[in-house]
Amino acid sequence: MSIEAKRPPQGANASKKLFDSTLGDRSSRFQWFFGHRRQILRKASRFNSVVFSLLICVQGCATSSGDFARSGGDFARAKDRVAELLSRAIQFKSVNPPGDEKPLAGFFSETLSKAGIENRVVDTPSGDSKVGRAAAWGVVRGSGERRPLVLLSHLDVVPAEADAWKTDPFAGVREGDHVIGRGALDAKGISIIHLLTLLELAERDAPLKRDVVFLATPDEESGGVYGAGFIARERSDLLGGAEYLLTEGGGILNRGSGDPALWRIGVVEKSPCWLRVVAHGTPGHSSVPPLDAAVPRLISALERVSQIESPIIVAPEIAQMYRELAKLAPPEDAAGYADLARSLAEDSEFRHRFMTLRFQAALVTNTMAVTVLEGGSRTNVLPAEAVAHIDARLLPGESCERFTHRVQQAIADPGISTEVLLSFETRSSSSDTPLYAAIGTIAAKSDPPAHTVPSVTIGFTDAHYFRDIGVTSYGFTPRAMRREDYAGVHGHDERADIGTLANAVTTLIEILEELDRLD
């Protein structure tokens, strides 16, 4: 079931008549900044650009950024708007389980309505949620010359251990140029980038060649079956026959030390193979433990599972990724990256350097981790069952069925059962497309020019549901982050830089405009 909002007229004149009740009349100033910043810089000479930048700075530099045009009063107002929207989104406690994402979907829908943008709140299976689960959908119509592009994010977040945070994880506190709260990075910050992109597009007099669809779904943190999976299976009409989709999973890595940024575009992901392992035993009083007690039986089984060896496998997508990275690698690694499979097999020194970094090792091996343990509830009582969950991440081309069989062989105990909780096969999206080229073109215009790399996502996103139905899907959000920033994802004191999010809106619009020129 879906609730369809009455569609107000779109376009510059219509949206200027409407105000965001949360943010006041700063909307038009925000849109002006994003729509005209690039045009001003491109028309000005180098000398005039410097003068113009200095004039803006005199009026009120707000950041330490080296780009003065991004630090004037209009940019400060843009950051304020990002902060207010993100803070409000964080305050909707959409922890999964149970999710409870419907109120947040309603907030996004209301924001789109006030900007004159067609939208819906789309009900999805609610499960244990008492307030309901839903997706937020909106669209800014293009000329229809090309098939739509979808901007996908998710509404749900993982739990937060409040006692370990400096602030309430669901207060959305602003601290300088950051907003702190669960979901600031994963993935409400991405939702705000997408939302503001649609608000800017709705202000344009000339439409793009394609519809741009906003889609924020529930349930991603539990695998997305009842969120993006439901949309792909049951409500694909909302995609309008989309050609492209952009979502989380990649982005702009600022490497520091003056090195060019790395624009990582996710073309494929490792696939999950989540297993529930149950050891059965004789229950009773713990003073006389039987030989088949469930808890020690499970512990022994997990020890045997941990001994399963994972051979080094270089999938084609990984090989392509490292061939590109070879251009940026230090001299001692460049040749190894250029021919990764051979180097890992034959060069022991290179293999040691490569495999010492855990994130690199995870790109060429299957990984697994025990994440849940359940046993008895009392110290002196032997339970009839002990349970463990295993989170395995498999390389492209690997099968959960085969992996489960290897686990069962290692356990070799008829008193222990295994159940697959979640699995799917991976599909890759080609890097030979106008959208990929458009991202590369905008990256090359950075100062200094950035490098684009097709990447493999170690985790997984909802992109696979849409690849399965033929949509070319990339894990890419033009949000610049340092490597250490990623520690905040699912961590304590998760925070997002509001200037980074505001810049991401500008960059995303530039990519859409470049796509129009190339396609």
Question: What pLDDT is stored for residue 257 in this prediction?
Answer: 77
User: Are 471 and 242 spatial neighbours (Cβ–Cβ below 8 Å)?
Assistant: yes
Question: What pLDDT is stored for residue 73 in this prediction?
Answer: 60
- Look up residue 72 and give its amino acid: G
Q: 220 CB contacts (<8 Å, ≥6 apart)?
A: 96, 154, 156, 187, 227, 228, 461, 462
Q: Hunting for tokens 């980038």 — which residue is that?
A: 193
Confidence of residue 256 (pLDDT cuts 50, 70, 90): confident
Burial status of residue 377 (CB atoms within 10 A of its CB: 0-12, 13-18, 19 or more)? exposed
Q: Hunting for tokens 């530039």 — which residue is that?
A: 510
Question: What pLDDT is stored for residue 40 in this prediction?
Answer: 40
Question: What pLDDT is stored for residue 259 in this prediction?
Answer: 87
Note the pLDDT tens digit of each residue in 335-365. Answer: 999 999 999 999 999 999 999 999 999 999 9
Confidence of residue 110 (pLDDT cuts 50, 70, 90): very high
**Fold held by 2-256+433-518:** Aminopeptidase (3.40.630)
Note the pLDDT tens digit of each residue in 169-210. Answer: 999 999 999 999 999 999 999 999 999 999 999 999 999 999
Determine the number of helices (DSSP H) and then strands (DSSP E) in the chain. Answer: 17, 20
Mean pLDDT of the chain: 88
Task: Identify which of 214, 212, 85, 228 has the alpha carbon closest to the alpha carbon of residue 156.
Answer: 228
User: Are 167 and 173 spatial neighbours (Cβ–Cβ below 8 Å)?
Assistant: yes
More confident residue, 436 or 50: 436
Average pLDDT over residues 147-166: 98
Q: Is the pLDDT of residue 251 over 90?
A: yes
- Ordered by start, the domain boundaries in the chain are 2-256+433-518, 269-423
Q: HSE of 508 in the Cβ direction (CA atoms, 13 Å)?
A: 31
Distance between terminal CA atoms of the chain?
A: 35
Determine the 3-state secondary structure of 504 from DSSP: helix
Q: Is the pLDDT of residue 396 over 50?
A: yes
Element (H, E) at 234: helix 228-234
Q: Is the pLDDT of residue 152 over 60?
A: yes
Question: What pLDDT is stored for residue 363 in this prediction?
Answer: 97
Confidence of residue 67 (pLDDT cuts 50, 70, 90): very low
The Cα-based distances of 432 to 131, 243, 245, 267, 428 in angstroms read 43, 14, 15, 11, 12
Determine the 3-state secondary structure of 371 from DSSP: strand
Confidence of residue 1 (pLDDT cuts 50, 70, 90): very low
- Is the domain spanning 269-423 CATH 1.10.3720.10? The answer is no
